[in-house]
């Protein structure tokens, strides 16, 4: 009986000791993944702007489809939210309970006509990037 109690106490002590390391590891893994997502979106925006001609809104023109995946919260991944904000030309993310990480896309007018594009649910999602000419040239970001 004493051995069982000691084994349980040792297991609890070990879990308490490694808990912060596990949390830091899952956050670091999620940040690395989301930095890649932000980079893919930024590269799609820059490629569209550099290689295509803008069209008027409502006309079919050059587009880029960027597929993104938000991880499901687990032992290896933290929960997160992705946000594209046309007002500040920013793409960013926020881990659950943490402060936001934002990247400003310089030299490009990002536009989100229906307000910021926010992806909160884990799983796969699509963003459509379109180059338009209306009040200057801008890149419209929408879901789908």
The strand pair at 117-119 and 137-143 is best described as unpaired
Q: How far apart are CA 96 and CA 73, in angstroms?
A: 9
Q: 8-12, 82-86, 117-121: which range is least confident on average?
A: 8-12
Q: What percent of the chain has pLDDT over 90?
A: 45
Phi, psi of 61 (to 5 degrees): -145, -165
pLDDT at position 6 is 77
The residue range of the domain holding 81 is 2-143
21-73: pLDDT as tens digits:
767 788 888 999 999 999 999 999 999 988 888 888 777 888 999 999 999 99
User: Which H or E run contains 70?
Assistant: strand 63-70
92-108: pLDDT as tens digits:
999 988 889 998 988 88
Cβ atoms of residues 79 and 32 within 8 Å:
no
Number of domains in the chain: 1
* Token pair belonging to 124: 């796969």
């Amino acid at each position: 009986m004493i051995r069982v109690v000691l084994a349980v106490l040792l297991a609890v002590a070990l879990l308490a000791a490694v808990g912060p390391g596990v949390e830091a590891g899952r956050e670091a893994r999620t940040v690395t993944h989301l930095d890649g997502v932000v980079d893919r979106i930024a590269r799609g925006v820059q490629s569209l702007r550099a290689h295509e001609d803008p069209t008027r809104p409502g006309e079919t023109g050059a587009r880029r489809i960027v597929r993104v995946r938000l991880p499901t919260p687990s032992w290896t991944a933290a929960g997160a939210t992705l946000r594209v904000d046309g007002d500040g030309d920013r793409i960013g993310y926020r881990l659950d309970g943490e402060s936001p990480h934002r990247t400003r896309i310089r030299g490009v007018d990002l536009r989100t006509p229906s307000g910021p594009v926010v992806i909160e649910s884990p799983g796969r999602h699509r963003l459509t990037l379109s180059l338009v000419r209306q009040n200057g040239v801008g890149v419209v970001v929408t879901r789908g």
